[in-house]
Structure 1
Amino acid sequence: MDKFIPLSVPKLKGKELEYVTNAIETEWVSTGGAYINEFEKNIAKYLNIENAVACQSGTAGLHLALRLCEVKYGDEVIVPTLTFIAAVNPVKYLGAEPIFMDCDDTLNMDLDKLEEFCEKECYLTEKGLINKKTKKIIKALVVVHVFGNMVNMEKIMNIANKYKLKVVEDATEALGTYCTEGKYKSKFAGTIGDFGVYSFNGNKIITTGGGGMLVGKNIDLVLKAKYLSTQAKDDQLYYNHSEIGYNYRMTNIQAALGVAQLERLEEFIQIKTKNYSLYKSKIKNIEGLSLLDFNQNCRSNYWFYSLVINKEKYGLNRDELLKKLSEKKIQTRPIWGLIHKQKPYVNSQSYKIEKANYYLEKIINIPCSTNLSKEEVLMVIKALTNLKLSI
């Protein structure tokens, strides 16, 4: 019987049980407790920033970030179409509308098209950037570091500054990725824009089961995010509230997991990098398959690996390969369905979507867990090779 190789599962072999047990034994299991504060402090130290706010999810963090960017009903926000839908839904939570951008060959937002859109399809006023088509203000830009591959943040910030756009970095897949050259050398993904958001979902490079973290340049706004995440409570005794808040605080049990996982983040990145290199060296010998590169101007966390399929040369298309690998108990997945084609967004504005359509049909993600062994990588390579030979 073939061994099952999952796509991406966590590695919980550190102090997770010790810390979670401590949280339970001390009976601090909800949205108060020492581990929440410790997790925030440790993340901030790792990222070389002042403060961080632990949330129930990356989605909650994105919602808070957009609210603090003053996105409101009737505004517009530029977003990528090639991403997980959680990067876009918070725009709608606030009554705003998304404008969808194409991807480039890294799967990240096409910054040339972004700049072209701002220049040709909009005009700048004292109030901000106005969309010629809708006459609405474009308030912010959500940029996603897809699969841990860092966007060119120097270009993003230049565009944002020129056109008066707030920048929310969706770094939910990119904890540990940082620039290695240029203006933002040594700056981590998520720490360059106005706000950055991380996710600790079960398949992320470190996990709390569920959960997220929000960071930002303006310390007062970061503290405001914490205030809003705890139901905008003005005092702890009489429960007075001056604003509408949310139940978005991370639990102490989740944070206990996070503290233990963060201790091993750099080790996990080393494993991810090593396995990617092994895949890369072997897949290049299989005609019709290639592994998508990561940007060379950053140290990526190598979260997910993207296998590009050329059906004419390999003999199988995306869906056929997914099925064949599943039969061999190797779990893979296609990239997300493009968001501008999803039912809630079919009437939203999009701009020159081309490459996203191309890559949607060409890419699957292959096993990349932090506990993936060399033997398992070679088993995946063998399966890919044998499928090619059998056609």
Structure 2
Amino acid sequence: MSQFIPLSVPNFGAREAALAGEAITSGWVSTSGGKVTEFEQALADYVHMPRAVACNAGSSALHLAAMAAGITRGDEVIVPTLTFIAAVNPLTRYVGAEPIFIGCDDSLCIDPDAVEAFCAERCELRGGKLYNKATGAHVKALEVVHVFGNLGDMERLTEIAQKYHLILIEDATEALGTRFTAGKFAGKFAGTVGDIGCYSFNGNKIITTGAGGAVVSNHPDWAEHAKHLSTQAKTNLLQFFHDEVGYNYRMTNVQACLGIAQLERLEAFIAHKKALYDHYVEKLDGVKGLRILPFREDCTRPNHWFFSLYVKDFALDRDEIIEKLQAQGIQTRPVWALIHEQADYPRNEAYALDKALDYRKYIVNLPCSTNLSMEDCDRVIDAVLAL
């Protein structure tokens, strides 16, 4: 059998090894060490924000965002159902809030029409706050996940958030480097438009620190509070005084070293992702009923993190395709199971789900690593066409 082609794996080189080695040799391997601050500054500079708060996971970043935004027990948060479950748990169950699930549009991101319809038809504004008519709860926040690096419709979503007095949280864990190139937010990066944004550096992300995340915010006090919470909420380092319940969420110095080196390569990674995506489109889109789902490229520069093969009109179904490619040493996967169907969530409201249900059933994600060669890309293409 030919060499195994994974779905998405890290791309490390000599620079990463050298910086991590320096941290290990110095003994500064935990959450103390200058490289964490250096990485935070490099990330903040890259996304044009005044500061970034590095933490140990994207999930931790979202939990910090929820707490910094003041989301608490009894609140409700509008969230997408087509996403990874870590986008929803920290904003809801971790802080005692309840989700309201909304379906997607053709970008795979949360559907702004459905969000607005839900707010207008099922909620009411009272005293400058939005309340759910069915539950009586305060609908406090709206989360957009920039799925697979595709920007959600932020112009519409920011307008909706302002109209209905919602905190706007951006889950940009899949979208580092994605940015607007035209329109109201030209030049702004995913994660920097709303009130608070989060990134992930998990092993399969476009850059990785093994595990890691970061928070940015347009409210400086929220970012400061997130940093405070991430370091056990210490107010006195010597005497170990803590003024609230904090968390051990800080990124380590070794992880930060990886992040510094990876961030230096991010634009090259994005360029290679774009080349791979274009090659898949050229060879597969429109052939045998197959489609490669598009990214929003009219006013954005997506990072093309994951590529979605849409197989509704193909001869084989999603799971048959995945199984047959796996037998040839090619790893693919379906899009996530919808969150409103997951354990503990069916009791929550779900709205405008048709497209999300369809995409769940018919998407196969193709290999897309930043070190995937064009030769291996061709092997994937040939295997799909031979099915």
Q: TM-score range by the shorter chain?
A: over 0.9
Structure 2 contact 69–222 (Cα < 8 Å) conserved: no
Selected match of 2:305 from 295, 303, 306: 303
Give the C-alpha shift of residue 69 in structure 1: 1.3
- Whether 1:32 aligns to 2:32 is yes
- What is the match of residue 149 of structure 1? 150
In 2, Cα distance between equivalents of 1:329 and 1:111: 39
Structure 2 contact 53–226 (Cα < 8 Å) conserved: yes
Equivalences, count: 385
Cα offsets for 1:261-310 (capped at 9, x unmatched): 00100000000000000110000252111100000221000000000002
Q: Report which stretch shifted further, 121-130 or 331-340.
A: 121-130
1:184 alignment partner, SS class: coil
- What is the match of residue 204 of structure 1? 205
In 2, Cα distance between equivalents of 1:188 and 1:126: 33
- What is the match of residue 288 of structure 1? 289
Structure 2 contact 10–207 (Cα < 8 Å) conserved: yes
Q: Which residues in structure 2 correspond to 1:221-300 (within 5 Å)?
A: 221-284=222-285, 286-296=287-297, 297-300=299-302
- State the one-letter code of the partner of 2:84: F
Q: Report which stretch shifted further, 61-70 or 187-196.
A: 61-70
- What is the match of residue 43 of structure 2? 43
Identity %: 53
Structure 2 contact 140–166 (Cα < 8 Å) conserved: yes
- What is the match of residue 11 of structure 2? 11
Cα offsets for 1:54-87 (capped at 9, x unmatched): 0110111101111111111111000000000001
Structure 1 contact 14–261 (Cα < 8 Å) conserved: no
Q: Report which stretch shifted further, 316-325 or 278-287.
A: 278-287
1:157 alignment partner, SS class: helix
Give the C-alpha shift of residue 331 in structure 1: 0.2
In 2, Cα distance between equivalents of 1:325 and 1:375: 16
- Whether 1:70 aligns to 2:70 is yes
Q: Which residues in structure 2 correspond to 1:1-391 (within 5 Å)?
A: 1-90=1-90, 91-284=92-285, 286-296=287-297, 297-311=299-313, 314-387=314-387
Give the C-alpha shift of residue 352 in structure 1: 2.3
Structure 1 contact 143–170 (Cα < 8 Å) conserved: yes
Which segments of structure 1 move beyond 6 Å, counting only runs of 4 or more?
A: none
Cα offsets for 1:87-118 (capped at 9, x unmatched): 11011111110000001111111110100111
In 2, Cα distance between equivalents of 1:224 and 1:68: 6
Give the root-mean-square deviation of aligned CA atoms.
Answer: 0.8
In 2, Cα distance between equivalents of 1:40 and 1:272: 25
Q: Which runs of 5+ in 1 are unaligned?
A: none
- State the one-letter code of the partner of 2:213: G
- State the one-letter code of the partner of 2:307: Y
Structure 1 contact 51–215 (Cα < 8 Å) conserved: yes
In 1, Cα distance between equivalents of 2:15 and 2:30: 20
In 1, Cα distance between equivalents of 2:48 and 2:95: 31
- State the one-letter code of the partner of 2:301: R
Give the C-alpha shift of residue 13 in structure 1: 1.5
In 2, Cα distance between equivalents of 1:352 and 1:148: 22
Structure 2 contact 161–167 (Cα < 8 Å) conserved: yes
Cα offsets for 1:316-358 (capped at 9, x unmatched): 0000000000001100000000000001101111112111111
